Amino acid sequence: MENKNLQIILHSRPTAGISELNFALQKSQIPFPQAGEVLLKTLYLSLDPYMRGRMYDTPSYAASVKLGAVMIGETISEVIQSNNANFSVGQLVSSAHGWQQYAISDGSNLVKLPEYAVSPSAYLGVLGLTGLTGYGALIRYGQPKAGETLVVSAANGSVGSIVAQTGRNLGCNVIGITGGQEKCKILETELSIKTLDYKDDNFSENLKKLTPQGIDIFFDNVGGDIAFEALNNMATHGRFLVCGTISFDRNLPQVKSIDRFPSAFSQVLIKRLKVQGFIFDELVDMKDDYHQQAVTWLHDGKLTFREHIVEGIENAPQAFMSLFKGKNVGKLIIKI
């Protein structure tokens, strides 16, 4: 075995959409911990749609990854050497050390994993960023009430499945949108919610039929056509939550077609909608509340989660590309 640190770097910026060729595998020396530092071995790496935006250098809510730098990402790691009294060897921590096998930390950016009876990888999904995003945003911006109709897109994704289950647990009439009959069946069986297949030719009619009183809350993870259909089926005073736009790469040239922008904002007016964009950062104050609730629900079987685990850091680029093709069910994780 080579004693190297395998890393995936951003090799080039995307031109006609992101590609595996934008990444490169690089071997570097395993770093050496100085006084006060620890050496971390990555166990799990989270892959999430937001990373696409960081590959471009257009302005966004967060800085781009620099060319030649290790791709960013949330990680679960084990402390394998420690010069820091706060961390002993064997301690599991969550942090954001990106697409690499080893990393150095002075401890300031590490969170020790609590002793819940879940796998460490769960701290990248259901108990991590995506879980809190789904739960926190639904509660804060959606203000769901029992009996309301909640529709969530990418409902089998890492955020969507938490939204769907939270809504269900709070007594909402939940409808999950996903692609293909197989994924619909998984959702219906595992989450006990109604589903809609966006690949069905009658998607639009089916959405209307399933929401005769209109959609009170639409939790959007995909943008584009599905978002537009939902917007046209909102109930008066509906809340439209913009969590992600995975179907839309704003850095690509935009397709010529009907301009749906004026009509979209006309719907906002007619239905007196609230459309709210948000990112994870705005929900961190809800983290403790969420963990308490999530652990209780996990224990009671009222919250389940799926992980789509791919082994090997070298497979991260390909796995990442699959995210945008709607291929995975559940949280996409690289096991290093």
Which residues are within 8 A (CB) of 150 and not within 5 positions of it... i.e. 6 or more apart? 138, 142, 144, 163, 164, 167, 172, 173, 174, 175, 215, 216, 217, 218, 219
Q: How far is the CB of 254 from a copy of itself (least distance, A)?
A: 5
Q: Which stretch binds a copy of itself (CB under 8 A): 192-200, 205-213, 277-285, 326-334?
A: 277-285
Q: What's the rounded Cα separation, in Å, for the pair 293 and 290?
A: 5
Q: Is 277 in the site for a copy of itself (CB under 8 A)?
A: yes
Q: How many Cα atoms are found within 13 Å in the side-chain-facing hemisphere of 10?
A: 21
**Does the footprint of a copy of itself cover residue 203 (CB under 8 A)?**
no
Buried b (16+ CB within 10 A) or exposed e, 105-114: bebeebeebe
Please tell me whether residue 231 adopts helix, strand or coil conformation: helix
Please identify, using beta-carbon distances, which residue of 253 and 301 lies nearer to a copy of itself. 253
Binders of a copy of itself among 100-129, rule CB under 8 A?
A: none
Instruction: Tell me how far apart the alpha carbons of residues 199 and 220 are, in angstroms, rounded to a whole number.
Output: 17
User: Least distance (Å) from a copy of itself to the CB of residue 94?
Assistant: 24
Nearer to a copy of itself, 199 or 272 (CB): 272
Q: State which residue, 209 or 272, has the beta carbon closest to a copy of itself.
A: 272
Please work out the total of residues on this chain that contact a copy of itself, with binding judged by CB under 8 A: 42
CB nearer to a copy of itself: pick between 151 and 333? 151
Q: x/- contact string, 154-183, with a copy of itself (CB under 8 A)?
A: ------------------------------
Tell how far CA 155 is from the center of its chain.
11
Question: Is position 60 an interface residue for a copy of itself (rule: CB under 8 A)?
Answer: yes
- Residues between 217 and 276 that touch a copy of itself (CB under 8 A): 220, 223-224, 227-228, 236, 242-245, 247-248, 250, 254-276
Residue 14 phi, psi dihedral angles, 5° rounding? -65, 145
Minimum distance of a copy of itself from residue 151's CB (angstroms): 16
CB 35, CB 74: distance < 8 Å: no
Distances (CA, A) of 182 to 11, 170, 179, 218, 329: 36, 26, 8, 23, 10
> What span, in angstroms and rounded, lies between the C-alpha atoms of 105 and 84?
10
The H or E element spanning position 46 is strand 38-46
Q: CB of 312: closest distance to a copy of itself in angstroms? A: 32
CB-nearer residue toward a copy of itself: 191 or 275? 275
Closest to a copy of itself by CB, 14 or 224 = 224
Rounded-to-integer distance, Cα 105 and Cα 280, Å:
23
Q: Looking at beta carbons only, is 123 or 135 nearer to a copy of itself?
A: 135
> For strand 331-335 and strand 38-46, is the pairing parallel, antiparallel, or unpaired?
antiparallel
Binding site for a copy of itself (CB under 8 A): 60-61, 220, 223-224, 227-228, 236, 242-245, 247-248, 250, 254-279, 282
